[in-house]
Amino acid sequence: MSWEEELHRVVRKYYRGGREEAPGWIAAGEVIGDPTVVSNASCGDRVTVYRRPGGGAWLEVAGCAVCKASASVANRLLAERPLDEVCTIARRVLDGIAGVGETSSHDIDTELAGLVGDELAADVRSFFSLSAVPGRRRCAELPWEAVLREADVAR
């Protein structure tokens, strides 16, 4: 399977997830402070991060399928783990999408697999192919940047 076919498989797999209803605690107004908003200036896509007292966060996306799929992966992780742990994953994912050092890609893969399991790591890796597609790279990065920004705000 080519990297494009693999990317399309993953986007299709998670795209619907990106359209999931937000958790009930957002509708109930159980959020801390103003939501964090991160935008892609080149296309207007926007990720909004809502945070719940006592832990828990949710990304809402106004954007393309790649952005929604990427956010859906992040939301799955945020539903199961504390924000700090998701931040560690977010840094590895952003390194991978940025194509940081071909030589270290194995380390990123290994670390990701250790953090999220083989199946999810394989899906996340498909976004790394966008390092060669400048026009779409930011679409996949945006949700993970939002996670890091939210963590900064939370601190």
Partner 1 sequence: MTETLDISAVRAQFPVLSREMRGHPLVYFDNGATSLKPEPVLQALEAYYRDYSVNIHRGVYELSGYATAQYDQARESLRRLIHADPAAGEVIFTRGTTESVNMVATGWGLRHLGPGDEIVTTPLEHHSNMVPWQELAKRSGATLRYIPLTAGGSITTEAVQETIGPRARLVAVSAMSNVTGYTPPVEAILAAARAVGAVTLLDGAQYVSHHPVDVQDLGCDFLVFSGHKMCGPTGIGALYARRERLEEMDPVLFGGDMIERVTLEGSTWARIPEKFEAGTPNIAGAIGMGRAAEYLMEIGLDQIADHERRLFRVIADRMGSLDYVVPYGDAPDTERGGIYSFNLEGVHPHDVGSLLDQQGIAVRTGFHCAQPLMDHFGISGTVRASFYLYNTEDEIERFVAAVERIHGILT
Give the footprint of partner 1 on this chain (CB under 8 A).
42-45, 62-66, 136, 139
CB nearer to partner 1: give 64 or 116.
64
Q: Measured from the CB of residue 73, what is the shortest distance to partner 1 in angstroms? A: 17
- Residue 94 CA: distances (Å) to CA of 26, 30, 85, 144: 27, 29, 15, 7
Q: Measured from the CB of residue 86, what is the shortest distance to partner 1 in angstroms? A: 25
Please write down the long-range contacts of 129-132, taking CB distance under 8 Å and 24 or more positions apart: 129/3, 129/4, 129/6, 129/7, 130/7, 130/66, 130/97, 131/96, 131/97, 131/98, 131/99, 132/99
CB nearer to partner 1: give 115 or 128.
128
Q: Measured from the CB of residue 39, what is the shortest distance to partner 1 in angstroms? A: 10
CB nearer to partner 1: give 65 or 100.
65
